[in-house]
Chain A
Amino acid sequence: MDMNEIKEIFFQECEEQLAELESGLLKMNDGDRDPETVNAVFRAVHSIKGGAGAFGLDDLVAFAHVFETTLDCVRSNKLDPGPEVLKTMLKSADVLADLTAASRDGGTVDPSRTSVLVKELEALANGQVPAPTAEAPAPAPAPKAAAPAPKPAAAAATPKPTDESGFQPVPFSFDDFGGEEAEPAAIEIPLCDVIFKPRPELYSKGNEATLLLRDLSRIGEMSIYCDMDALPPLDQMDPEGAYFFWKIAIRTEKGEEGVRSVFEFAEWDCDLEVKVHEVSAEGSDEDELPMQPVPFDLSALDDTDEDHDHHEDHGDHHQEDIAAAIEAAKVATAVVSMAAAAPQAAPVQAAAVNKPAAPAPAAAGNAESSGSAGANPTIRVDLDRVDRLINLVGELVINQAMLSQSVIANETSGATTINTGLEELQQLTREIQDSVMAIRAQPVKPVFQRMSRIVREVADMVGKSVRLVTEGENTEVDKTVIDKLAEPLTHMIRNAVDHGLEMPEKREALGKNPEGTVKLSAKHRSGRIVIELSDDGAGINREKVRQKAIDNDLITSETNLSDEEIDNLIFHPGFSTADKITDVSGRGVGMDVVKRSIQALGGRINISSRPGQGSTFTMSLPLTLAVLDGMVVTVAGQTLVVPLTAIVETLQPEASAIHSFGASQRLISIRDSFCPLVDVGRILNFRSAQANPTDGVALLVESESGGQRALMVDAIQGQRQVVIKSLEANYTHVPGIAAATILGDGRVALILDVDAVVAASRGQALGGDGALAAAS
């Protein structure tokens, strides 16, 4: 793994964190005051900032830092997350998302947007935070985190007397410190006297006097003296006490700052005196050193332990009575534990023997699959690999079908084992296929979440107050469907907010909540996913739509249309009811584009509207674009596949049930109702004359607008799961045909586009006639 790959991971993680951030903020917006929600929001920003810092993405770090500071105020209850505050935060989340995208894909984010929000965020943080917390963000947020190495010495030079753990300021002369500052001019390497007195806490936090002394020895030449006077008799000794202290004389170019930086981690838990000698007085100083220079044997550190002091042995044993310890020391194990200077050494080895294999899986970086982290363990897989697998499974299905077919063709009477085997193979293939499809299934949540941002933005732009309610966001559907859903949904949401909902004043006048509601829901229904988008706005103004359609020559003023038909006019190309073109939805794309993209996904869209109460768009989409269950039929010698989801029932028409209607229309009476009969062969131009309905089979299908049609085909061959092969990708779009597939015998069959055929039967021409017969 290299940095680029990690960066890739970082951006993936950003996506997740941003989603987390947004959903958390939205929860808070709904009044959720759970501290864990606030924490999760804070962590999301914090995490982005952390990763961004590592990659030097300064813009991102700077903004995340300001955002984080404000969130921290909320987290520590210094700032109440009221609606105004959350509005700023949600906008900030959007900017953070944009900055992340800009860092990933290049490009920039309008600096004015960023700076406006930075100011708002800072105002929020400053307004509520008591002044003494000098952590208020600077106007130009120089990211603290992006600053280079910490300056420990600077911190050390101004020890805080207010340490809660009883830290007492080191007696320490600032005069000397001043002298040290003048030092660089001198040629002499400064000589420092260091007194280092560890307290027991130093050891209990995992620091080691010996290691600190080792580090100190690395910055200069030193002599060291260990004062052991405080060491009590053995029977009074606390094994975890700190009885020794060291006096060190070190000659180092790094001066006091360098010395203190060695003790950076330990400075609170020891008394540390550092005194720099005046260079001029150096000679006499040396004589005054109160200690005997003792050569410090560093090599001893590398192996073990003889010269370690017993008080560093704060390892494995409890605070036991010393006498008992001495007694126990006769036992071998206790000796080990007493003598081990590195307290973990013994247990480490013991455990390593006991459980040699245990750390291995974790060490392989597999912590994610260890399963202990609550959520289901997951892996991330390149989408290409999944698609390749899906393609292969598709081939497998075809191959299995061909095999079955050839066995049937050559069937010999005794070959039951082959048949059983084939059946099992078929079942397995089906299961493999389902499992592979499940890999691609994803919850619609990310798309839904994106919509909340769209709602905010549009509502802001048009001055409306809108609340987005989402439902069923964990409903799963093929990733391709999700990806392609974003655009039409965005457009519809824009329309709903811009055209659907009334202005707040008007809503109030109508006795509605001034805040409009847009609801987005998803659910599974009979093998498809149904997505509903509804608003509680004015509903479709049918009079206006009708007038517009007349103005645009879509209909004549005499045309008699049902309410449903008028509503559906908005899906006509180039239709827009807004009197004036707004920034928001007047972009030249209308609902016709939405309809086409939904249809391209094998879906249907439907509108129902109630004046004064709002409109509901219902989209029904296939769960996957890779396979479908189809009914294989014959029409004029051609083999076609009709998607099973469209078929309500099949029936053999009797002559008495067929009624002529007008010149060429025919109706079939099914139970108590009449249903238009559509000859598929005729519609697709497979034949010029209508076939006799009693010779064929009628497939009762449900069309997009809910109306039923009876499709006439010559014969039904059977039901089969077929792998969808796009015609567009391999040939070109053919009206009336959704896609193609390969059948068990290796032949290509076309998949019927039921909605298009039904639409054509209504008198709308399919267009591109005649191309069909040649296609198969």
Chain B
Amino acid sequence: MKKKVLTVDDSRTIRNMLLVTLNNAGFETIQAEDGIEGLEVLEDANPDVIVTDINMPRLDGFGFIEGVRKNDKFRAIPILVLTTESDAEKKNRARQAGATGWIVKPFDPTKLIDAIERVTA
């Protein structure tokens, strides 16, 4: 069975890149545009791994991750944070919110797939 990835990002550009990259790598991809939508689709999407942006309207990545971790069913799902901030502070906040790992933009397909494979069985 294909692994399912839920991506959460408000940028149409990045969403499309994620979609193309993940589909090419043989993942099934479900997309949401912000944290609120991410949480809304979470149950139905039932992903194996989540890739989320940090800066988003309505509910940002930190809030989204916290929301996912509160859900008993998903409290141990691997969550990767997509972020342009490579500085320690942002990583630290993401980590405290419960992120599993991160991928530093600019978006690089290889890095993305590597990171996903690192955190999934």
Query: Which of B36, B45, B73 interacts with A362 by CB under 8 Å?
Result: B45
Q: Which chain A residues border B46 with CB–CB below 8 Å?
A: 347-348, 351-352, 359
Within 8 A of A (CB), among B78-113: 78-79, 84, 86-88, 92, 95-96, 98-102, 104-108, 111
Given contacts A358-B44, A362-B31, contact A265 B101 (CB under 8 A): yes
A433 to B66, CA, bound (A): 49
With A208-B121, A265-B119, A372-B40 known, 4 other A-B pairs at CB within 8 A are: A10-B13, A144-B86, A149-B111, A206-B100
Q: Which chain B residues border A207 with CB–CB below 8 Å?
A: 78, 100-101, 119
Instruction: Indicate the size class of the contact surface on chain B.
Output: 35 or more
Interface contact tally, CB-CB below 8 A? 177
B105 touches A367 (CB 8 A): no
Q: Is B26 an interface residue (CB 8 A)?
A: no
A362 touches B100 (CB 8 A): no
How near does chain A come to B100, taking the closest CB pair, in angstroms? 4
Q: Mark A125-152, 1 if CB is under 8 A from B, else 0.
A: 0000000000100000000111101100
Closest to B49 in A: A206
* A-B interface, 6 closest residue pairs, ranked by CB to CB distance from nearest: A53-B106, A265-B101, A206-B100, A10-B13, A54-B107, A51-B13
How near does chain B come to A326, taking the closest CB pair, in angstroms? 20
A39 to B62, CA, bound (A): 15
The segment from A281-289, A311-319, A465-473, A761-769 found at the interface with B is A311-319
A368 to B15, CA, bound (A): 11
Given contacts A205-B95, A318-B72, A363-B29, contact A53 B44 (CB under 8 A): no
Q: Which chain A residues border B99 with CB–CB below 8 Å?
A: 205-206
A355 to B43, CA, bound (A): 10
Could you list 16 A-B pairs, sorted by A, with CB under 8 Å? A5-B16, A6-B16, A50-B107, A145-B105, A146-B106, A165-B96, A203-B76, A206-B76, A206-B119, A265-B102, A343-B76, A344-B77, A351-B46, A363-B29, A372-B36, A372-B41
Q: Which chain A residues border B78 with CB–CB below 8 Å?
A: 206-207
| Chain B residues proximal to chain A, CB less than 8 Å | 4, 10-17, 19-20, 28-34, 36-37, 40-41, 43-46, 48, 55-58, 69, 72-79, 84, 86-88, 92, 95-96, 98-102, 104-108, 111, 118-121
A367 touches B118 (CB 8 A): no
Closest to A352 in B: B46
A599 to B99, CA, bound (A): 60
Q: Which chain B residues border A185 with CB–CB below 8 Å?
A: none
Among B43, B44, B74, B106, chain A packs the most CB atoms within 10 A around the CB of: B106
Q: Which chain A residues border B44 with CB–CB below 8 Å?
A: 355, 358-359, 362
Q: Is A512 an interface residue (CB 8 A)?
A: no
Given contacts A46-B84, A352-B46, contact A204 B95 (CB under 8 A): no
Q: Which chain A residues border B95 with CB–CB below 8 Å?
A: 205, 268
A206 to B100, CA, bound (A): 5
Q: Which chain B residues border A1 with CB–CB below 8 Å?
A: 16, 19-20
Closest to A148 in B: B108
Q: Is A183 an interface residue (CB 8 A)?
A: no
How near does chain B come to A94, taking the closest CB pair, in angstroms? 22
A43 touches B57 (CB 8 A): yes
B77 touches A206 (CB 8 A): yes
Given contacts A53-B107, A344-B77, contact A13 B13 (CB under 8 A): yes
Q: Which chain B residues border A348 with CB–CB below 8 Å?
A: 46, 48
Q: Mark A365-401, 1 if CB is under 8 A from B, else 0.
A: 1011010111000000000000000000000000000
Given contacts A54-B105, A363-B28, contact A205 B98 (CB under 8 A): yes
Q: Is A439 an interface residue (CB 8 A)?
A: no
B76 touches A204 (CB 8 A): yes
Q: Mark A300-313, 1 if CB is under 8 A from B, else 0.
A: 01100000000000
Given contacts A50-B105, A135-B87, A145-B105, contact A9 B40 (CB under 8 A): no
B84 touches A344 (CB 8 A): no
A597 to B74, CA, bound (A): 60
Closest to B41 in A: A362
Q: Is A546 an interface residue (CB 8 A)?
A: no
Given contacts A145-B104, A145-B105, A358-B44, contact A13 B121 (CB under 8 A): no
Closest to B53 in A: A50
A355 to B121, CA, bound (A): 24
A155 touches B88 (CB 8 A): yes
